[in-house]
Structure 1
Amino acid sequence: MLGLCQYETNKLVRIQSVRLGSLKWSLNAAILLVICVLMLWNRKYQQFDLVVSSVTMKVKGVTQAHLPGVGDVVWDVADYSGPQQDKNSFFVVTNVIVTKNQKQEKCPEVPNKDKLCRTDQDCRKGAWNEQSHGIQTGSCVKFDVLRKTCEVSAWCPVETRKHPPRPAVLAAAENFTVLIKNNIRFPAFNFFRRNILPDMNSTYLRTCHRGSDSLCPIFRLGDVVREAGENFSDMAVEGGVMGVLISWDCDLDLLTHRCLPRYSFRRLDEKENNRTLYPGLNFRSDGAPGQRYAKYNVVNGAEERTLYKAFGIRFDVMVFGQAGKFSFIQLIIYIGSTLSYYAVTTVLIDWLIGTRCYSAEVGPNYWQRKVEAVQDGLQCVLCVSYVDESDVRLVKASHKKSLQLLKPISLLPRQQDTGHLTAALSWLQPTVDRDTEPKAGPGPEAGRVTGSGPGPEVGPGPEASSGPEAGREAGSGPGPEAGPGPELLPSAPAWCRCGRCSPCVLPQEELCCRRSAGACLTSSAPFEQLVLRRSLLAAVLLYQDPLSSPAGPGQAAALRHCAYRQYVSWRVGLPPKDAHPVVPSCCVRRIRERYPSPDGQYSGFMPVRTVTMKACANEKA
């Protein structure tokens, strides 16, 4: 439950820079301007509702056309409107093929490649198909001088012409007009409107013209086709489909109230004959475009009819639209969704710093402060330093293979801990605390400088020599300190290069101080002075904890662990971030021999960051 009562926040890095600050505010201002323009242009602060619409049409016009074989005929609305079309559409006949005086009788079928015959056996009585004009009688009769076809019972004579006349018979339909009445409703706002506006009276409707008034609801058919980019005369021959689009984009706010229709036109069918098999409005099963209707009458007691194969233009009225009204909720949603746009500023400035387009010096420092890398515990990265190499190796720990034999994932230059180096050299100088320290030699007051126990710590006494007296610091055990180090093991492990490493239990502890064969680091005088010297270690512990007891319990363990840290600061320096430095096995053995555990049990080296000793270089510390 305590884990739930926490608050987490992001870490920020602030760069004091006039250029970056100016760039940030310039980008933020540009983004804010774009957001405001888009909000006002698209009315993102409004709630929208889609239109519900109904449409009625009234076509007017009359013309006189000459029909082949019939003569001059006057066409009015009842003649050229054709059969009833779908809702929100109307049809106007523009061309026609007329077949007069058809009666129910027997006559030859229209010749076709699969309807020609030679004898009666080629005709099957009662047969018909989708392209037939009637039912076959089983007889093969002459159609003309050269061809014979099967006889059919049908309305005779059958229709023979397939292609419409050119120019169109009713080309004058270009001057017909149509009144479109459109009623709309937006249910969410309970708003009603129609395209015949309140200020439009009968006088206005008789005189308005679309060329001078874009809101006029009366349209000339020729103008509709022309505004769609088509030619009425060409389109009238075979017909087509035109779309009349009415768009309502309404703003219902009080200050910006606007709700007016906007008309546009386009052709909906494919007009190119070479792109479609059946051009025109629609098609018959035999491929002839057009649609048919008939007018019936009775002559001498027999029923006759006149068949009209009509071609024309169908006009489909389509209504689109939406209405918007201010909504505080929509405004909040829009503001919240656009806040992410400000991330563009951060991405761009980070890119400029990362690519060193801004400053080559700022980039590395910026990323070190902003990005904190965390290594996976299963992929622990170890830091290894060999005395015979100048670089530091980063190696992934392995539970199966010796650390000495692993290949590095990268080589980095050693980053020297200058504070440690300065402090160590300062403590090793023979003139340190010359005003307070007595001359070198045995005596109880000689060891009171650092609180590390009796015995001389500084001066030209026995600690600086290489003789047998150099190793007689209190509690350090017998034997020389600056001598050759631990003895060579008769059976050193195979991975050992110096011959003084002890066998290890874990593979990640199998590390030698050298990469290639040679003298061991523990045999050097700097190792004795910087890592094993008791007075130096006691001074470091006293610096870290000024009130600690110099001879308290666990003093050997504290000195041992301090020796480990001294080695890391000396040979590794400042380890790379999230990399754990490893002390070689021979060095661990030498430190444990100097500062052994009373029970012989060791917890192993726990990799921690080294503590800088920069303050130790100050003589007043």
Structure 2
Amino acid sequence: MKNQITSALSDFFFEYETPRQVLVRNRRVGVVCRLIQLGVLVYIIGWVFIYEKGYQSTDTAISSVFTKMKGVGYTNDSGGERVWDVADYVFPSQGDSSFVVMTNYIMTEGQSMGTCPELPGKHDCSTDADCEGGSFKRTGNGEMTGVCVKRTKTCEVLAWCPVEDDREVPDPPLLLSAENYTLFIKNSVTFPAFDVSRSNLVEDIDSNYISRCLYHPDNAPLCPIFKLGDIIKLSDLDFQTIAKVGGAIGIVVDWTCNFDVDVKHCKPEYTFHGLYGSKEGASVGYNFRFARHYMEDKIQKRTLLKVFGIRFDIIVHSLARKFDIIPTLTAIGSGVGIFGVATVVCDLVLLYLLPKREFYKNMKFKYTDTQVQQDSESVGVDTNVYYTLEENAKQAQGKDQSKDPDSEAGSTETDVSKK
């Protein structure tokens, strides 16, 4: 018993079993196998390693963005001259990554709380019965008092009076000077997995360079100062059109970095995308209302502005890569596994498609037969030898295959040597 256990352990630890292989000399099957293996090799090297960079690990950045606008605008609306600075035309004023620059407006000055008639078309009437007191209309300016104003043939409302008249948008835009405003973007990113921090103010940028540079995609691609007119042009939009009714621009700061080389090569790229504002359709452009309240003769009043502006959304896109042994081994292992596809396909061709598939089945598989086992034992012949002799007898009865260009006569089986 002890010897049996020792022998079993010895066989388990010191022996290696390999699958039985059959060498098939068939040109068609061989070409199919090599073509599949070549395709797998091209996929692994070209797609997995070169294009997808499967030998590297990846990380995305934690990012922060600060912005600052500069520029002064001038308007002369109905004889009223006015200068607009950053505090007047930027909303909000905190320097966020998403903000609006006013390019056009409709101003309603001196509004105070009281009763006044609605605008024509808002809620027309012919008698007081057409104006339901205490009710509101979604597109109206206030609460209806139940009175129909004969002069305007509209309902009277309790609201900030006089009500805003926004039926005509100024054209050309009042703040066309916004085209010359400049935007400064300061962006910092950190890749925690690689312990790397970068800023768009890279090594080549200093205070002297910033004071004189202006972004250009070819001549100054790293300058963080952008002229609004250039941004609109690079977004494939017309400035005057988008300035009239407003719109939105996406500024993408792209950090695609390879940390297998020096970190200083990790630099941002800027792209610009017009999101909406210039196409025909419902609700074209972008606008909102803003009020400045004040007291006059102890009466609360306000100046209401319907602001048409360009909304800027600064979006940071990041992806960093660096060599890592784990994804490398994973990619290699998966590639080696895919090589097995060639074996599966060739086996299917051999066993199910070729005319002499039965011959290949007999060469590839061994079948256990209890009766044959008993017969071989009764004559004292090893089972493998018995099967080999039986197979040779079957082959001897077949036709001559020497004239077949894909002859299986070259198929080799070294399972049993002649005794």
Q: TM-score, normalised by structure 1?
A: 0.52
3-state SS, counterpart of residue 320 of structure 2: strand
Distance in 2 (alpha carbons) for counterparts of 1:369 and 1:94: 83
Tell me the residue number matched to 1:206: 211
Tell me the residue number matched to 2:165: 160
Tell me the residue number matched to 2:274: 267
Note the aligned Cα RMSD (angstroms).
3.6
Q: Please report how far the alpha carbon of residue 279 of structure 1 lies from its aligned counterpart in structure 2 after TM superposition.
A: 1.8
Q: Is the 8 A contact 1:51 1:322 kept in 2?
A: yes
Tell me the residue number matched to 1:334: 331
- 1:218 lines up with 2:221 in the alignment: no
Alignment of 1:127-276 (within 5 A): 127-144=135-152, 148-211=153-216, 212-254=219-261, 258-269=265-276, 271-274=278-281
Structure 2 residues without counterparts, runs of 5 or longer: 370-374, 381-389, 395-419
Distance in 1 (alpha carbons) for counterparts of 2:255 and 2:107: 43
Mean CA deviation greater in 176-185 or 197-206: 197-206
Match of 2:291 among 290, 294, 297: 294
Inter-CA distance 190–121: structure 2 relative to 1 (3 Å threshold): same
- 1:309 lines up with 2:318 in the alignment: no
Q: Please report how far the alpha carbon of residue 344 of structure 1 lies from its aligned counterpart in structure 2 after TM superposition.
A: 4.2
Alignment of 1:574-613 (within 5 A): none
Deviation digits for residues 306-332 of structure 1 (CA, Å, limit 9, x no counterpart)? 211011110111111122222111211
Deviation digits for residues 223-244 of structure 1 (CA, Å, limit 9, x no counterpart)? 2222222222211121111111
Q: Please report how far the alpha carbon of residue 355 of structure 1 lies from its aligned counterpart in structure 2 after TM superposition.
A: 8.7
Q: Please report how far the alpha carbon of residue 182 of structure 1 lies from its aligned counterpart in structure 2 after TM superposition.
A: 0.7
Q: Please report how far the alpha carbon of residue 342 of structure 1 lies from its aligned counterpart in structure 2 after TM superposition.
A: 1.7
Distance in 2 (alpha carbons) for counterparts of 1:171 and 1:273: 21
Distance in 1 (alpha carbons) for counterparts of 2:258 and 2:43: 22
Inter-CA distance 208–24: structure 2 relative to 1 (3 Å threshold): farther
Match of 1:75 among 72, 77, 84: 84
Match of 1:40 among 30, 46, 50: 50
Distance in 2 (alpha carbons) for counterparts of 1:241 and 1:374: 77
More strand by share: 2
Q: Is the 8 A contact 1:243 1:317 kept in 2?
A: yes
Q: Please report how far the alpha carbon of residue 245 of structure 1 lies from its aligned counterpart in structure 2 after TM superposition.
A: 0.9
Q: Is the 8 A contact 1:178 1:220 kept in 2?
A: yes
Residue identity in the other structure for 1:343: G
3-state SS, counterpart of residue 268 of structure 1: strand
- 1:64 lines up with 2:74 in the alignment: yes
Residue identity in the other structure for 1:216: C
Residue identity in the other structure for 2:146: G
Q: Is the 8 A contact 1:249 1:321 kept in 2?
A: yes
Larger radius of gyration: 1
Distance in 1 (alpha carbons) for counterparts of 2:33 and 2:229: 58
Inter-CA distance 350–227: structure 2 relative to 1 (3 Å threshold): farther
- 1:279 lines up with 2:289 in the alignment: no
Alignment of 1:83-122 (within 5 A): 83=92, 87-112=96-121, 115-122=123-130
Aligned residues: 364
Distance in 2 (alpha carbons) for counterparts of 1:342 and 1:321: 34
Alignment of 1:435-584 (within 5 A): 545=379
Q: Please report how far the alpha carbon of residue 301 of structure 1 lies from its aligned counterpart in structure 2 after TM superposition.
A: 4.8
3-state SS, counterpart of residue 118 of structure 1: coil
Residue identity in the other structure for 1:141: V
Deviation digits for residues 556-596 of structure 1 (CA, Å, limit 9, x no counterpart)? xxxxxxxxxxxxx9xxx98xxxxxxxxxxxxxxxxxxxxxx
Distance in 2 (alpha carbons) for counterparts of 1:55 and 1:86: 9
Q: Please report how far the alpha carbon of residue 85 of structure 1 lies from its aligned counterpart in structure 2 after TM superposition.
A: 8.4
Distance in 2 (alpha carbons) for counterparts of 1:101 and 1:52: 47
Inter-CA distance 80–545: structure 2 relative to 1 (3 Å threshold): closer
Residue identity in the other structure for 1:89: S
Q: Is the 8 A contact 2:66 2:95 kept in 1?
A: no
Tell me the residue number matched to 2:408: none
Aligned-residue sequence identity (percent) comes to 36
Deviation digits for residues 35-65 of structure 1 (CA, Å, limit 9, x no counterpart)? 2233133221122111110111111111212
Q: Is the 8 A contact 2:189 2:199 kept in 1?
A: yes
Q: Is the 8 A contact 1:93 1:311 kept in 2?
A: yes
Residue identity in the other structure for 1:178: L
Inter-CA distance 301–70: structure 2 relative to 1 (3 Å threshold): farther
Distance in 1 (alpha carbons) for counterparts of 2:367 and 2:182: 77
Match of 1:345 among 320, 342, 346: 342
Distance in 2 (alpha carbons) for counterparts of 1:545 and 1:374: 17
Distance in 1 (alpha carbons) for counterparts of 2:242 and 2:100: 14
3-state SS, counterpart of residue 107 of structure 1: strand
Distance in 1 (alpha carbons) for counterparts of 2:170 and 2:366: 84
Distance in 1 (alpha carbons) for counterparts of 2:70 and 2:318: 28
Q: Is the 8 A contact 1:177 1:220 kept in 2?
A: yes
Distance in 1 (alpha carbons) for counterparts of 2:95 and 2:29: 65
Structure 1 residues without counterparts, runs of 5 or longer: 282-289, 376-540, 547-568, 575-621
Mean CA deviation greater in 338-347 or 182-191: 338-347
Distance in 2 (alpha carbons) for counterparts of 1:31 and 1:309: 62
Q: Is the 8 A contact 2:247 2:311 kept in 1?
A: yes
Q: Please report how far the alpha carbon of residue 298 of structure 1 lies from its aligned counterpart in structure 2 after TM superposition.
A: 4.3
- 1:369 lines up with 2:377 in the alignment: no
Q: Is the 8 A contact 2:245 2:277 kept in 1?
A: no
Q: Please report how far the alpha carbon of residue 28 of structure 1 lies from its aligned counterpart in structure 2 after TM superposition.
A: 3.7
Inter-CA distance 30–123: structure 2 relative to 1 (3 Å threshold): closer
Residue identity in the other structure for 2:111: Q
Greater relative contact order (CA < 8 Å, ≥ 6 in sequence) = 2
- 1:12 lines up with 2:21 in the alignment: yes
Q: TM-score, normalised by structure 2?
A: 0.75
Mean CA deviation greater in 318-327 or 341-350: 341-350
Inter-CA distance 188–124: structure 2 relative to 1 (3 Å threshold): same
